Every structure is written in structure tokens, then in C-alpha cells.
Amino acid sequence: MNLNLHVWRQSGPQDKGRMEQIQATGISADMSFLEMLDKVNEDLIAAGQEPIAFDHDCREGICGTCSLMINGVAHGPDGATTTCQLHMRSFQDGDAIYMEPWRARAFPVIRDLMVDRSSFDRIVEAGGYVSVNAGAAPDAHANLIPKAEADLAMDAAACIGCGACVASCPNGSAMLFVAAKIGHLAHLPQGQPERARRARAMVAQMDVEGFGACSNHFECEAVCPKEIPVRFIAEMNRDFLKASLCGQE
Amino acid sequence: MNLDSKIPEGPLQEKWTKHRFDMKLVNPANKRKYRIIVVGSGLAGGAAAATLGELGYNVDCFCFQDSARRAHSIAAQGGINAAKNYPNDGDSIWRLFYDTVKGGDYRSREANVYRLAEVANQIIDQCVAQGVPFAREYGGLLDNRSFGGAQVSRTFYARGQTGQQLLIGAYQSLARQVNQGSVTMHPRTEMLDVVKVDGHARGIITRDVVTGEIQRHAADAVLLCTGGYGNVFYLSTNAMGCNVTAALKAYRQGAGFANPCFTQIHPTCIPVSSEHQSKLTLMSESLRNDGRVWVPKKKGDQRPASQIPEDERDYYLERRYPSFGNLAPRDVSSRAAKERCDAGYGVGNTGLAVYLDFADAIQRVGKDVVEARYGNLFQMYHKITAEDPYQVPMRIYPAVHYTMGGLWVDYELQTTVPGLFALGECNFSDHGANRLGASALMQGLADGYFIAPYTVGNYLAQHASLSAAGKACVDDAAFAETEAAVRDRIGRLMGVGGKQSVESFHKRLGKIMWDHCGMARNDAGLRSAIEEIPKLREEFWQDVRVPGSIEGCNPEIDKAGRVADFLEFGELMCRDALHRTESCGGHFREESQTDEGEALRDDDQFSFASVWEYQGEGVEPALHQEDLAFDNVKLATRSYK
Amino acid sequence: MNRTAKTLRSTIGAKALMAVTGVALLLFVLGHMVGNLQVFGGRDMLNKYAHTLQSLGPLLWVIRGALLAILLLHVWAALQVTRANRAARPVAYEHARQDLATSYAARTMLVSGVVVVLFLIYHVLHFTVGAVDFAGSYGGHADLDGTEVHDVYGMVIGGFKHLPTALIYVVANLILVMHIAHGAASLLQTLGFRSQANAGKVRAFGLGFGVLIGIGNLAMPLSIMFGMVGD
Ligand SMILES: Cc1cc2nc3c(=O)[nH]c(=O)nc-3n(C[C@H](O)[C@H](O)[C@H](O)COP(=O)(O)OP(=O)(O)OC[C@H]3O[C@@H](n4cnc5c(N)ncnc54)[C@H](O)[C@@H]3O)c2cc1C
Ligand code: HEM
Ligand code: FES
């Protein structure tokens, strides 16, 4: 099939950037979305033009590197998937496809469709861990954890940190990401000693990075490739408020 | 080349304890005076950087991804082994050690493997303490499952995302050290060479892939934790960015490269569907616990699976390996699939696939149970192929998955270049000629959390005077020289200005490698590959087109450098495969097989690790051998019948 | 105090402030509605209620002051949050971002809030101060058990018999209902009381609360407008 692509092109952080129209030809339905881009890039290179820069690595939907706003939807129309797992059979010959980078103050564009998501790392660095040195751990069975709790922790921990939540949020909010990180550890006994501190520190860093607030639109949940539920945001709010207002300084 | 493996004296069980005592310690107050470079932030690199930071060293950690948490360890699905013996089914450290040596087809070092088995339990403790949400039973205890070729249940897992969860654990520890100031992360930074000063590794040259800046970094020791090189085949289950660059540069700087031809082909991957395919997707091996593998009995049978009656199906794994059946080890299952397809029994439009059928399991335990066990994998398969595996059998085919070969290291994980260490998949140490399922994660974390932190200290303590505690200096002439070479190479790549894309060369290399150095190898094929690859390389350097500019972000430059390195490395792999005329583990030489088509090892001639030493551009590398002694395990023919 | 202030300036804290002030406002709206529904009980009933309120004296001013403060806090936090949200995405998407989950009410909270403020001002000027009185029904007096009191009943009936005035109340209340339907559910999430299990109930609660206020507050202008109540 042939497609009419509208792609955000921006040569670097200083460039203003613009949408560019590119024809994609000879695309087969079995291709993944990124393989379609590979093909377009090969054609661009052959034509002496610069290929489209986009982020990707594992192409299995787990590393969270790929990131595209496709026709206004983060990771495209399929739902519960990443761009790398989206296939061209979800599109039809002659379709127009708009591709844009994640848009958020805290995700500056590097080039074309690539953005800088290091703000996510800084949020985790602020406190998203259990302070245990290698070698200091008790036996793995020292703590029994009810299966239901362990499963909940895993539901949150499944987050791949792609940033689709931010991209899809009308407020550019990172609440779902931060809530998943906090929720993962809050549901485990290992996470308890630092629970209050963690919630405070991570939320504070989230604010410093310039992400928006949550207006409970739940757009994040709708596009999350790992279907992380917004219940974790409610839990984070509670943890944060409790820690900030009642916990120890 | 001095291949002193530094295996400690004494009984196997006491070697590591004894060695830890013998090693020199760095005075705690002095640790912060040392700077250590860790290249890679996967399980091996992430764990090592975090642990060294915890110990008080200054660590610089590098990865090419935009975040440490995206290293390809994240893609591991199945699980991680340990000899906890929680299920009480007779497991022990000794059994894990034994299974791993046997699984590696007796081409690994006993002492290393034993140590791996020994620290494995500690890894599980550590990960649980970090908050890794391993699967649990209703009573709150950790759940175990059996996995690829083991007869005990020793695999810990977190749904189908074990690697992700372990990596998040390591990443969070790393984040904690970043917060405390002991580790500096350098994401989106590609290491392009090792710098040696007075024969010791003293730093690296990197390229910031966002700004294009070439940078020098000096340190007292350099740890390479850069993963595997499966992408030399173009199509593999590796991430797009996986490369051999770091390891190859180390090799060119004098580090021995061991067993480059030992690659693992995983039997259960989604088959190639078109020429535009960019990568292959693994379907966790755990599927073989319930799925049955078959092909039609009739050659070229075009009927849909559902119309092929039971008695016209060939459950070839169950037929050939009655005691292991569908759970036969990876190399064995992969070859069996290839054998059927080559003989014309393959299914699907390419004929390069076999069925993995869940109909029986669904009938036996119900769709719900199957869904609970494999739901996410079924969904992934459905997404990629648009076929519903609850209705029709999956189609699978083997794909390149893991590389057992890697930089040669001694018992201390040090390469033949002093001060240069290699951890995780990028070394050769523990898996011999074939890796058992769920043991790579174990090895990466063992190396990172529990081995390198000691042995690196031992090196630093011994060479304190040499390293002058952090005074290794980027102004040294060696840095300038190496940097100039790196710049020159990038300049040359950009300057070719040819017509063919980098990608197209990679594809062509991959095809040569897969055809001649893939699942089955033979003398003639390997020889022709050794002829073809240099030609392709030459063509690359004359006709490649690297668009864009040298400044700023240009992913094509990164790709071009990696492919250029693969073009060099592929040849080394073929040479190694050609030299090893026996079949062992993942290395199957057609000349060396039993009458029934099983791999035939040649212990008399090949009971060693092949270690290649770089001799200069265009010169054949020199081969050295590290003889392997088996004092505790009896060499036997692996049989899964 | 410093700590509370700091918390309230964070994105989550500001939202929590909106939620808590929102609860107070919701209770007020509910109480206000229940009180006014006494219009259906006849002139004496409503006038008595109004008179009781007015005779609270200074206490009435305290309550009014508190309500105003709460409203101002709510509005302040709303503006704070809105500003942060706008700043979080300085460059808009070229192809409109598609909404998959949110509702019209949720997307228009600021607009509905502003309308509510304008309406409140109008409402106070109309029925409390009498400064804006299109219907000309303000200022009458009536007899209540022998005392002369403000004829609130007459004012209301007269006001809503005037079609444009009644329509202003109908439209404003519909918009208030929207604000409340999202707000009442939203505050439970903001304060951490929503979970996977009660998500449906939370939604229903918001909707229910909104509908309740809607029925109550619309019943008055509509029934009077159509002449079903009043003399
Ligand atoms: C799909 C899949 C499934 C698997 N499943 C399992 C399983 O179930 N159980 C199991 O035990 N094993 C499994 N494995 C194998 C296992 O995941 C890997 O062997 C292991 O994770 C490798 O870890 P590592 O730390 O050595 O390397 P990686 O995780 O690959 O990390 C490499 C790091 O090095 C960095 N790097 C590489 N080159 C450079 C450079 N030039 N400059 C700078 N940085 C560089 C990268 O950025 C990255 O941070 C699986 C592998 C795959 C591909
Ligand atoms: C009677 C009057 C009002 C009531 C009962 C009320 C109630 C509420 C409630 C309960 C919420 C939900 C808070 C949360 O999500 O936690 C809310 C949100 C909101 N209110 Fe009000 N409110 C009133 C007036 C106003 C006014 C006057 C404004 C003016 C600007 C306003 C603006 C907002 C906005 C913008 C939000 C959404 C904030 C967000 O989620 O981002 N409200 N309101
Ligand atoms: S490329 Fe890894 S999730 Fe898409």
C-alpha cells in the first residue's frame, strides 16, 4: 500500500521544526510501523535525503524506547501496544498518517521524532528505590508476600517508562509513570521503610521537571501499552498527602 | 598471549571462598580516590556500577540507550535460575553447577560455573530485597518453574517480564547511587574505543550520540558489560542497537576473543514473514511446557493445520527425544526444526516454520489456565502475525538469540588487557558452547553484584602505584592518539559518499552469516564466507552512504560504525567456526555428527576454549588455546533421548 | 505551616486543595438547594427559613466569609493548576491530540467554573443584594406570624416568572451540574479514595450528585416558569 505521511522534522533542539509530507510506497500489511519507517528511510537515503530520526531499540514492546504520536494518539490506534508492535494492517492504502514526537516541556525534542526523557530518570533517582546494598539482603523467604499484593506490585512494575502517559495527557502530566513507580514499591514490604520519603521526593522532582497536574481525564490509562490502571495515581495521591501533611519531616 | 586463568587451588567448593580471602582489599578511605568506568547498564553493567558505587568508588556508567533501564536485558522473558531448592525437588548448588556444565556441552570452565551456582542464591535474595516482584504462591512464598532442559524447578520469574523486573531492580540501585553522587550516568553515549596507557586499560573514547561530541574518559579500571553480538546476523532477537563494537575494540587493543562462533539459536521465535523484517521476536521457551511441536508427515503439505488429521502429524521432538520431548534443549530443538524444514516438511508460506500447538493443552487444562500461563505471549503473537493461537497452532522457527562467545576473561573476569574487565554476555566465561535457559540473567547479575566488585578491587589494590589513584589523565598522549583514530574513522565513514545504505550492507552480511555460520556449518560454507565477507567489507568502505552531518544527532553514524565492526567481526566468527571441526552445543559442524544426525563432540581434540588474538589490519588473527580440565564432572555425550 | 503551604503548591497538593474546598462547596450547594426547595412548601415556609438565616447576625457573616474564602481558595488552586498544565506543553500537536477516555465535563472544568463564578456574582447581586433585578421582584415584604420579613418567596416566584431570568438560572445550573458531575467523582480520585473495585461507583456517585443537584435546582425555575408553583 501507499501512504501519505506527515512527519515532524526538526534538525536539532535549536531548529523550530515543521511538518513535512512524505510519500511511503510499497508498504506491506505485515510490516510493523517501525519497519514501515525503515523502508521510508531507505528510500529517503537512496534519494539523497536525510532519513527520519526516531527512537527505538528492542522492537518487542518492552524497552519503552519507541515513542510516536500517530494521528494524535500515543503509540497509534491499536491500544495497549507500543509503536514497535503496531502493524501496518491497522492502516489502509492511501491513509494519511501524522507522526509527531511526544510533546511536553519536560521532553524536549532532540531531533525529528526523538525526545529527551531523562526527566523520568531524575524522578527515579530522587527516591524510586529500596536502599539495600548488594550483599545486605536477608533470605528471599524472610518476608512472605501475599500473592495478591505481589501481583499488584507487578501490575505497577510493568511500566516501561515510554512516556505515552505524558504525551497523551491534556496536561502533560507524568502522574501515571510516577504513580506506577511509587505503587510498585508501596505494595511490597521491602518498600515500606522509605515509603513516605519516596513519595515526597519523587513528586517533588516531578514538579521540578515541569510536568502538569492530573485532572482525572484518564487519557494516560487509555494509551498505556502496559495498561497500568489509574488506581495507582489515587494511591500515590494518598501516599503523598499523608507523607507531606502527617508524616515525619 | 598469556592465558593464565588464575583458577584458585583447592577443592571446587572452596575456591571462591579462598580466593576472596586471598584477594587484596582497597582501604575504604581510598576507594573514593579511584574512578571506574562501566560500559553498559544491563544486568551486568547496572549491577556492577551500582555495587561499585555502594562500595565507595567513583563510577562513570555508559549506555547508548536514552536510559540505563532500557538495556536489552529488559527483554528477557523466561526467568532466572538459582539453586534455592524451595520446591524440595532435589536441587543443590552442585546440581546447578553440573547441569550448567553439561548444558554447555563441556566447553566451560568448572571453577567459574561452580562459583556462578554458588552465588546464584544470593542474587535472588538481593533482588527480592530490592523489590523485584517475583511470582508468588498463595501462601506468599516464591514460585518456581521448570525451564529449558532442567529436570528440577529452579527458575524464578516475574510473569513474562523477568528481565525487565531484574533490570529495574538494578537500575533503581543505580539510580540511588546517582542520587548519592557516586555514579555518573552517561546515557546516549557510545563507547568507540579503549585507551591503554602502559599496557593497562585507562579509559575510553566515546561519542555523545545527541551532540556528536567525541569525548575522553579516564579511569583506573574499565569494565565492559556491553552484551551480546547476535546482531551480526542482522535478524536476531536482540535489540536493534546491540552491537559488537565495544568488545571488538577491546580485541583490537589486545584482549583475547574466545569462542566467537558459539552462538545460540533459540527454537521458539516468530518466523520471518517478509524481506522487510527488521528483527525477530522470541516466544518464551516456557511455551514448550504445554505446546506440542509438529510438522505434517507429508512433504509440502499445504493444508491448514486444522485439516491435517492426527495420524498425519509428525511430533518430531517427541519422536526423536522421548524422555525430554518438547522440552529438549535449545540447540537440539532448533536443529531438529531446521532438519524438518530443510527436508521439505516446513509449514507456512515460506516453508520455514513448524507448528507449536496448544490444542491438547487447551483441552486438558482449559483455555483459562492456558491464558493465565501464557496470555501475554499469545497476545503478542496475535498482534504480530494476526493469527489467534487459541484457534490455530503458532508457527515458530529458530532465531539467533544469544552469544556464548565473548571476550576471554580469567577467574577474576579480567581480559588479557590488565585493568580491562568483561562482564555478562560480553564475556565468554560460563556457558560453554550452549547456554541453558534462565542462566544468562543469573550470570549477568552474579558478575555485577558479587564477583567484579571484589576482583576489580583486587586489581586496584595491586596496581595502586601504577594507577596513581585517579590520576590517569585524559591529557595523556595515548588518549589523543586513540581519539584521533576514532575521529579519523568516523570521518572516513562519512567521506565514502557512496550509494548503498548502511542497512543494506548489514542485511547482506546477515545473510552470509546465517547461511554459512548459522545453525549448521560446514567447511566449504565457512570458507566461502571467509572469502565473501572481506569483499563485502571492501564494498562497504567504497560505496556506503552515511547521510547527514557529523555534528549533532545522526543515528546513521552510530549504525554505520556498528555495521563496520560487524563486517570485521563476522569474519572472525567464521574463522573460529572453521577451525573447530567438532560439533558442540550451539556449534554444529555437519562433518561431525552421529548416524542419527546428533552433534558429535571431539573431546580429544577440542577440549579447549579458542582464544583469538588480533594481529593487525588485514592479518590473520592468531589462535591460542585455554585447555579445559574437568575434575569434577565426567565428560559424557549429552543425551536427551 | 510552611510545610502545608509547600504541599499545597505541589501539583498533587493543589489538586487536593481543590478537592477539599470542592467538598465544602458541594455541601454548600447541597444545603443551599435543600433550603431553597422549601419554596414548594409555600410562602411562609420559605420566608421563615430565610428569616432564620438572616437573624443569625454576625454568624451569617462568618459563614459567608468562610464560603467566600473557600471559593477563592478553590479558584486560586484552579488557576494555579491550570497554569502549570498549560506550561507543561508549550508546543501543541499539529494533529489534534485525540481524546479516548475523558468526558466533555472534565475537559471544560475551567470554563464551567468561570461560568459558575459569574453566575454566583449575578445570583448574589440578584437575590441577596438586589442590585441587578431584571424581573423587578426584589424588595417586597411579607408578614410572618406577625413580624414583617423580606418576602423571599415573592421575590423568587416573581424572578422566575420572568422568562430571561429563569433561563439564566436554568442554563447556569446545567453548567454547574456538569462541573459537579465530574468534580464529585474526581475529588475521590484526587484524595485517593478511588480504586479499581469502586471505580464504577465513584463515577455513579459523581453523576448521581450532579443529577440530584440538577433536579433540585432546576425544579424551582422550571416549575415556576411554567406556572406550576406560586400564586
Ligand atoms: C529476547 C531475549 C530473551 C531472553 N530471555 C532470557 C531468559 O529468560 N533468561 C535468561 O537468563 N536470559 C535470557 N536472555 C539473555 C539475557 O537477557 C542476556 O544475555 C543478558 O540480559 C545480557 O545482559 P548484559 O548486561 O550482559 O547485556 P545487555 O543487557 O545487552 O546490556 C548491554 C549494555 O551495554 C551497552 N552498550 C553496548 N554497546 C555499547 C557501546 N559501544 N557503548 C556504550 N554502551 C554500550 C548498552 O547500552 C547496554 O546498556 C534473553 C535474551 C533475549 C534477547
Ligand atoms: C459551587 C461551586 C463549585 C463547586 C461545588 C466546585 C466543585 C469542584 C469539585 C468537587 C472539583 C473536583 C476537584 C478534584 O478533581 O479533586 C472541582 C474541580 C474544578 N473546579 Fe470547581 N467547584 C466550584 C466552583 C468553581 C469555580 C468558581 C471555578 C473557577 C475557576 C472552578 C474551577 C474548577 C476547575 C478548573 C476544576 C478542575 C481542576 C482539575 O481537575 O484540573 N470551580 N470543582
Ligand atoms: S522499541 Fe522497545 S518498546 Fe518499542
The enclosing domain of B318 has a CATH number of 3.90.700.10
Backbone angles phi, psi at B258, to 5 degrees: -100, 135
| Confidence at residue C201, expressed as pLDDT on a 0 to 100 scale | 97
For residues B467 and B497, state if they share a domain: no
Instruction: Indicate if ligand 3 lies below 6 Å from the C-beta of A34.
Output: no
Q: Do the domain assignments include residue C75?
A: yes
Where residue B469 falls among pLDDT bands split at 50, 70, 90? Answer: very low
Query: Cα(B459)–Cα(B457) distance, rounded to whole angstroms?
Result: 5
**Boundary-marking domain end, from B367, B400, B433:** B400
Of C120, C123, C110, nearest in space to C18 by CA: C110
Strand partners, B587: B584
- Which chain C residues are Cβ-neighbours of A239 within 8 angstroms? 192
Please tell me the distance from the alpha carbon of residue B204 to that of residue B182, in angstroms, as a whole number: 19
In terms of Cα–Cα distance, which of B527, B520, B507, B506 is closest to B574? Answer: B527
The Cα B497–Cα B546 span in angstroms is 7
Site to probe by mutation for ligand 3, drawn from A32, A37, A57 as the one with most ligand atoms within 8 Å of Cβ, is: A57
- B217 and B74 in one domain? yes
Please tell me whether residues B259 and B298 are part of one structural domain. Answer: no
Reported as a pLDDT band with limits 50, 70 and 90, residue B637 is confident
Q: Is the pLDDT of residue B416 over 50?
A: yes
Residue A57 grid cell: 531499540
Nearest CA-CA distance, residue B7 and chain A, Å? 23
Handedness of CA B133, B134, B135, B136 (dihedral sign): negative
pLDDT tens, position by position, A80-122: 999 999 999 999 999 999 999 999 999 999 999 999 999 999 9
Report pLDDT for C158.
Answer: 94
Q: Which residue in the set C87, C185, C196 is minimally distant from A231, CB to CB? A: C196
Q: Are B502 and B457 in contact (CB under 8 A)?
A: no
- From B376, B411, B365, B340, select the one nearest B22 (Cα to Cα): B411
Distance CA C70, CA C73 (A): 5
What is the chain B residue with the closest CA to A32? B384
User: B605 CB contacts (<8 Å, ≥6 apart)?
Assistant: B581, B582
Query: What's phi and psi for B541, nearest 5 deg?
Result: -70, -10
Chain A residue at shortest CA distance from B236: A58
Domain total of chain B: 3
pLDDT tens digit sequence for B605-623: 999 999 999 999 999 999 9
- Protein residue with least CA distance to atom 30, ligand 1: B227
Residue C222 Cα to ligand 3 midpoint, Å, equals 57
Q: Is residue C116 part of a domain?
A: yes
Nearest to B570, CA basis, from B230, B246, B255: B230
Q: How confident is the model at residue B471, as a pLDDT?
A: 58
Cα→Cα distances B449→A115, B85, B184, B423, C150, Å = 32, 22, 18, 11, 82
Q: Which residues make beta-bridge pairs with B400?
A: B265
CB-CB under 8 Å, B449 with A134: yes
Query: Do residues B458 and B374 share a domain?
Result: no
Q: B365 and B467: one domain?
A: no
Name all domains of chain A by residue range, CATH numbers in brackets: 3-110 (3.10.20.30), 117-246 (1.10.1060.10)
Distance A83 CA to ligand 3 centre (A): 7
Q: Which of C82, C85, C104, C107 to mutate to test the interface with A (most CBs of A within 10 A)?
A: C85
Give yes or no for a contact between B428 and B409, defined as CB atoms under 8 angstroms apart. yes
C-alpha torsion B298→B303→B306→B308, nearest 10: -30
Q: To the nearest whole angstrom, how far is the Cα of C83 from the nearest Cα of chain A?
A: 9
Q: CA A248 to CA A211: how far, in whole Å?
A: 26
**pLDDT given for residue A122 in this prediction:** 98
Q: Is the pLDDT of residue B285 over 90?
A: no
Cα(B158)–Cα(B141) distance, integer angstroms: 13
Q: What are phi and psi of A148, to 5 degrees?
A: -60, -40
Same domain, B144 and B255: yes
Q: Provide the residue count of chain B.
A: 641
Nearest CB neighbour to A190, from listed B70, B86, B129:
B129
Same domain, B408 and B394: no
Q: Are residues B143 and B105 in the same domain?
A: yes
- B423 has pLDDT over 90: yes
| CA–CA separation, A167 and A113 (whole Å) | 13
**Residue A13: phi, psi to the nearest 5?**
-55, -30
pLDDT in tens, chain C (231 residues): 588 999 999 999 999 999 999 999 999 999 999 999 999 999 999 999 999 999 999 999 999 999 999 999 999 999 999 999 999 999 999 999 999 999 999 999 999 999 999 999 999 999 999 999 988 999 899 999 999 999 999 999 999 999 999 999 999 999 999 999 999 999 999 999 999 899 999 999 999 999 999 999 999 999 999 999 876
For residue B370, give the C-alpha cell.
492456558
Alpha-carbon dihedral B572, B573, B574, B578, rounded to 10 degrees? 100
Q: Looking at the CA of A62, which ligand is closest?
A: 3
Q: What angle do CA B232, B233, B234 make, to 5 degrees?
A: 90
Residue B635 covered by a domain: no
Distance CA A215, CA A217 (A): 6
- Distance from chain centroid for Cα C9: 25
Which residues lie below 8 Å from residue B508, measured CB to CB, with a gap of 6+? B536
Q: Which of residues 204-233 of A touch C (CB under 8 A)?
A: 204, 206-207, 210-219, 221-223, 229-231, 233
Summary mean pLDDT of chain B: 95
- For chains A and B, what is the number of CB pairs under 8 angstroms? 220
In Å, how far from its chain's centre is CA B29? 36
* Cβ proximity of C222 and C170 under 8 Å: yes
Q: Are residues B93 and B165 in the same domain?
A: yes
Residues 6+ apart with CB under 8 A from B524: none
| Nearest CA, atom 18, ligand 2 | C183
Assess contact for C107 and C85: CB atoms under 8 A: no
3-class DSSP assignment, residue B311: helix
For C:68-97, CB contacts with A below 8 A are: 81, 84-85, 87-97
Distance (Å, whole) CA A40 – CA A34: 10
Residue A7 main-chain phi, psi, to 5 deg:
-120, 140
C113 pocket-lining for ligand 2 (C-beta < 6 Å): yes
Q: Does the structure show a pLDDT above 70 at A43?
A: yes
- pLDDT score of B223 more than 90: yes
Check pLDDT > 60 for residue B467: no
What mean pLDDT is predicted for residues B128-154? 92
Domain coverage including residue C143: 2-225
- Atom of ligand 1 at shortest distance to CA of B249? 41
Residue B464, pLDDT above cutoff 70: no
Ligand 2: centre distance to CA C106 (Å): 10
Q: Is B161 within 8 Å of A222 (Cβ atoms)?
A: no
Residue B331: what pLDDT?
85
Task: Give the helix/strand (H/E) hosting A173.
Answer: none
- Please report the residues numbered 159 through 178 in chain A whose beta carbons come closer than 8 angstroms to any beta carbon of chain C: 168, 170-173, 175
B27 and B173 share a domain? yes
B172·A116 Cβ contact <8 A: no
SS3 content of chain B, % helix, strand, coil (to 5): 40, 15, 40
Residue B632 domain-assigned (yes or no): no
CATH of the domain at B129: 3.50.50.60
What whole-number distance in Å separates Cα of residue B536 and Cα of residue B142?
51
C2 contacts chain A (CB < 8 A): no
DSSP B327-366: G--HHHHHHHHHHHHHTT---STTS--EEEE-HHHHHHH-
Residue B532 sits in a domain whose CATH number is 1.20.58.100
Q: With a cut of 70, say whether residue B239 has pLDDT above it.
A: yes
Q: What nine digits make up the cell of B118?
A: 554458588
Give the CATH number for residue C137. 1.20.1300
Q: Which domain holds residue B377?
A: 266-400
Per-residue pLDDT at B472? 61
C-alpha gyration radius of chain A: 20
H or E element that contains B267: strand B263-269
Nearest CA to C73 out of C122, C2, C16, C11 is that of C16
End-to-end CA distance of chain A: 61
The angle, 0 to 180 degrees and rounded to 10, between the axes of the packed helices B110-130 and B93-103 is 120
Residue C206 domain-assigned (yes or no):
yes
| Grid coordinates of A114 | 526523538
The reply to whether ligand 2 has any atom less than 6 angstroms from the CB of C206 is no
Q: Which three cell numbers stand for residue B454?
A: 571484589
C128 touches chain A (CB under 8 A): no
Q: How far apart are CA B124 and CA B116, in angstroms?
A: 13
The proportion of chain A whose per-residue pLDDT surpasses 90, expressed as a percent, equals 98
pLDDT at B327: 86
Report the alpha-carbon distance of residue B587 to residue B404 in Å, rounded: 10
B292-296/B313-314 β-pairing: antiparallel
Confidence of residue B368 (pLDDT cuts 50, 70, 90): very high
Which of B34, B25, B41, B29 minimizes the C-alpha distance to B178?
Answer: B41
Number of domains comprising chain C? 1
Q: What are phi and psi of C83, to 5 degrees?
A: -65, -45
Does the residue B638 lie in any domain? no
The 10s digit of each residue's pLDDT in B60-118 is 999 999 999 999 999 999 899 999 999 999 999 999 999 999 999 999 999 999 999 99
Same domain, B209 and B278: no
Q: Is C227 helix (H, G, I), strand (E, B) or coil?
A: coil
Phi, psi of A37 (to 5 degrees): -65, -35
Chain A residues within 8 A of C188 when measuring between CB atoms = 234
CA pair distance B175, B50, nearest whole angstrom: 8
Secondary structure (3-state) at A66: coil
Residue type, A52: I
Distance CA(A131)–CA(A201), nearest Å, equals: 14
Cell numbers found for residue B344: 521439505
Phi-psi region of B79 (alpha: psi -120 to 50; beta: other; left: phi over 0): left
Residue C73 Cβ < 6 Å to ligand 2: no
